């Protein structure tokens, strides 16, 4: 598929460019941070009385990386977890820079980006990141006035995959979509009534936009779309959860464009 003529759009990258220090919770999230992002981990908490192979694995990894750790009352972990299940493990991370949005365009060959338009639910964000990591997509672009929190529920649901995924933050997904077109990407939105995914000729370079849990895609994003795609589901079911839909679409794109394809 040939990309239409460039629109000469620019990306307006909002500030700040990094999130503040944050807490992540859960065994998998904490272990992944210690093993893959040791320079960012300021301290590891293990709930008092927590033992067994998992505790030894986390503490051994922290010792090897030279990271501080301490036994902490479980109520303190409850506080920083904010309702997420922590299983006795938490870690405080220094600010994490987001990827430069423009850097997502320079990847050669087939590339699929997932654009999230105003998605605020941490569980959905974490699940989308996990799918992007699983299918080795090019990255995630989260649009909205403020950078999304990458700790708490997002890190817990991502289950240690946050360090594996390029995550960029932009103010307007519509502006980013126009810039993506200039870089040779096609832009599709996931919406009911769109072309069924089994009938769509998935482009090699694709920005796939998904709307917020309640409001859907913003009007500015809609205007930038080349088309829409839908997932056929039973008539008795109104819609799919955002992260479930993202996972299905990500898998289908990867099925059409296997790793190593030129």
Average pLDDT over residues 137-161: 82
Q: Give the start-to-end residue ranges of the domains of the chain.
A: 22-93, 101-256
Same fold, 22-93 and 101-256: no
Phi-psi region of 19 (alpha: psi -120 to 50; beta: other; left: phi over 0): beta
Q: Give the 3-state secondary structure of residue 66.
A: coil
pLDDT in tens, 36-77: 888 888 899 999 999 899 999 999 999 999 999 999 999 999
Confidence of residue 261 (pLDDT cuts 50, 70, 90): low
Let me know: does 23 contact 91? Beta carbons within 8 Å. yes
Whether the per-residue pLDDT at 12 is higher than 50: the answer is no
Q: Are strands 205-211 and 111-117 parallel, antiparallel or unpaired?
A: parallel
pLDDT(203) > 80: yes
Q: Where are the alpha helices (DSSP H) in 191-261?
A: 219-224, 242-256
> Helix or strand or coil: residue 29?
helix
pLDDT by residue (tens digit) across 81-97?
888 889 999 998 876 66
Q: Going by CATH, does the domain composed of 101-256 fall within 3.40.1280.10?
A: yes
CA distance 166 to 138: 7
Q: What is the pTM of this model?
A: 0.71
CATH superfamily of the 22-93 domain: Ribosomal protein L30/S12 (3.30.1330.30)
pLDDT of residue 128 exceeding 70, the answer is yes
58, 32 contact by CB (below 8 A): no
């Amino acid at each position: 598929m040939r990309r239409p003529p460039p629109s000469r759009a620019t990306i307006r990258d909002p500030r700040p460019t990094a999130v503040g220090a944050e807490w992540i919770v859960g065994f998998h999230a904490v272990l992944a941070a210690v093993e893959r992002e040791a320079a960012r981990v300021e301290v590891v908490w293990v709930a008092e009385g927590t033992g067994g192979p998992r505790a030894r694995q986390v503490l051994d990894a922290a010792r090897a990386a030279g990271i501080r750790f301490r036994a902490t009352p479980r109520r303190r972990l409850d506080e920083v977890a904010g309702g997420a299940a922590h299983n006795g493990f938490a870690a405080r991370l220094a600010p994490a820079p987001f990827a430069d949005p423009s850097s997502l365009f320079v990847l050669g060959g087939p590339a699929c980006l997932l654009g999230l338009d105003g998605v605020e639910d941490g569980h959905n964000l974490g699940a989308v990141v996990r799918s992007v990591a699983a299918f080795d997509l090019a990255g995630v672009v989260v649009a909205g006035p403020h950078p999304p929190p990458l700790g708490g529920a997002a890190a817990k649901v991502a289950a240690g995959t946050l360090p594996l995924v390029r995550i960029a933050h932009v103010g307007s997904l519509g502006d980013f979509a126009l810039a993506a077109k200039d870089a040779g990407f096609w832009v599709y939105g996931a919406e009911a009534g769109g072309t069924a995914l089994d009938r769509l000729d998935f482009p090699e370079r694709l920005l796939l936009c998904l709307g917020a849990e309640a409001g859907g895609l913003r009007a500015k994003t809609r205007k930038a779309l080349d088309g829409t795609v839908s997932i056929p589901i039973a008539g008795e079911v109104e819609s799919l959860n955002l992260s479930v839909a993202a996972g299905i679409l990500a898998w289908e794109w990867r099925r059409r464009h296997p790793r190593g394809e030129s």
